[in-house]
């Protein structure tokens, strides 16, 4: 139950609103400033629309659009004016907010960064996208892991960005670190619609974790983003499903207490626990070894697919990016 989108909020509920923000076209600093102002306006709209709302979530690329332009003049800093304005919007409207910036990186390509502020403007989470959408995106691979923070009303929040959500390991890491609500922000366009929906639902059910997911919406004259805000309960069932309407805010109530209860009390399909306690009916405590070759190989720096030498696309040259020569520093 979503409490009629959050209108009937329970004492233990967290009302989340995901904003299908209009896809912007940003080529100048002035346009970046204008989009920042628009995001702040939509924070205020979220508060007016749903006085019970605890957390408002904006899509990836909400300020920058989908041009993949990495010029310094339209990049942001965590201590810059754009972030300060969004932080102030949370304070002014007494609401938690999740925002997206393309973060200037003096040592390489910019980071694709997500931030969460509480209703007092305090930074609670700082995340850099681990899996840029290669070969299309030029962003530096994230180097902060997947942080988790305490959220409103008993929630524990994690944030992943767009393509991150296509890797089951990302959602499992969020759950393993205690998140009971995972936010997934995106700029995806229509061809990804089906994959978007099934992964949002699978990420929820396989981890007994609610997911709140949102893309940009509308057109910038070249690309069409799909909107599709989706709030999914921990059993994989949709609480609220969006559409393609730009600036529409999709809302639902999530119950972190019910998620925490399921994680403690479920036997059948208690997937996060059973993953590390295989076959506990047969052997005491279950098997706790790692039977997965790919995990062992990745830890050893030896990850290699059987078809590795046959992969055709291994850089961004098809999308206008020069083949990199710089090694990842971690």
Query: What distance in Å separates the CA atoms of residue 24 and residue 187, rounded to the nearest whole number?
Result: 11
296 given a catalytic annotation? no
From the list 112, 114, 116, the residue with the least C-alpha distance to 124 is 116
* Whether residue 177 lies in the annotated active site: no
Q: Which residues have a Cβ under 8 Å from the Cβ of 47 and sit 6 or more positions away?
A: 53, 56, 93, 94, 95
Query: Catalytic annotation on 129?
Result: yes
Integer Cα distance of 51 and 44 in angstroms: 10
Q: Which candidate in 60, 103, 140, 173 is catalytic?
A: 60
- Out of 40, 162, 174, 215, pick the active-site residue: 162
CA distance 250 to 2: 11
C-alpha 63/C-alpha 39 separation (Å) is 8
- CA nearest 19: which of 100, 94, 132? 100
Catalytic residue among 129, 137, 173, 174: 129
The residues annotated with a catalytic role in the active site are 60, 129, 162
């Amino acid at each position: 139950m979503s409490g009629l989108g959050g209108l009937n909020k329970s004492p233990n509920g967290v009302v989340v609103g995901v904003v299908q923000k209009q896809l912007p076209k940003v080529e100048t600093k002035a346009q970046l400033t204008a989009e920042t102002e628009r995001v702040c306006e939509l924070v205020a709209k979220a508060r007016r629309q749903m006085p019970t709302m605890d957390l408002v979530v904006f899509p990836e690329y909400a300020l920058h659009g989908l041009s993949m332009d990495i010029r310094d003049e339209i990049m942001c800093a965590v201590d810059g004016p754009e972030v300060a304005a969004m932080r102030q919007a949370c304070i002014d409207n007494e609401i938690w907010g999740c925002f997206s910036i393309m973060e200037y990186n003096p040592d390489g390509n910019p980071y694709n960064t997500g931030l969460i502020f509480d209703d007092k403007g305090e930074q609670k989470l700082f995340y850099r996208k681990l899996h840029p959408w290669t070969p299309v995106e030029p962003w530096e691979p994230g180097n902060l892991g997947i942080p988790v923070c305490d959220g409103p009303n008993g929630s524990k929040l994690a944030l992943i960005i767009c393509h991150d959500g296509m890797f089951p390991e990302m959602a499992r890491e969020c759950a393993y670190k205690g998140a009971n609500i995972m936010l997934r922000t995106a700029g995806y366009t229509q061809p990804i619609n089906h994959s978007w929906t099934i992964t949002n639902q699978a990420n929820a059910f396989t981890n007994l974790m609610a997911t709140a997911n949102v893309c940009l919406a509308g057109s910038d004259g070249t690309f069409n983003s799909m909107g599709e805000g989706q709030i999914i309960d921990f059993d994989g069932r949709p609480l609220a499903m969006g559409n393609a309407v730009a600036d529409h805010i999709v809302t639902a109530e999530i119950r972190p207490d019910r998620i925490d209860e399921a994680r403690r009390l479920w036997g059948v399909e208690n997937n996060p626990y059973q993953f590390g306690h295989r076959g506990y009916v047969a052997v005491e405590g279950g098997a706790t070894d790692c039977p997965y070759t790919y995990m062992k190989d990745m830890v050893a720096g030896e990850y290699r697919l059987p078809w590795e030498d046959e992969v055709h696309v291994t850089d961004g040259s098809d999308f206008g990016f020069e083949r990199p020569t710089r090694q990842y520093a971690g």
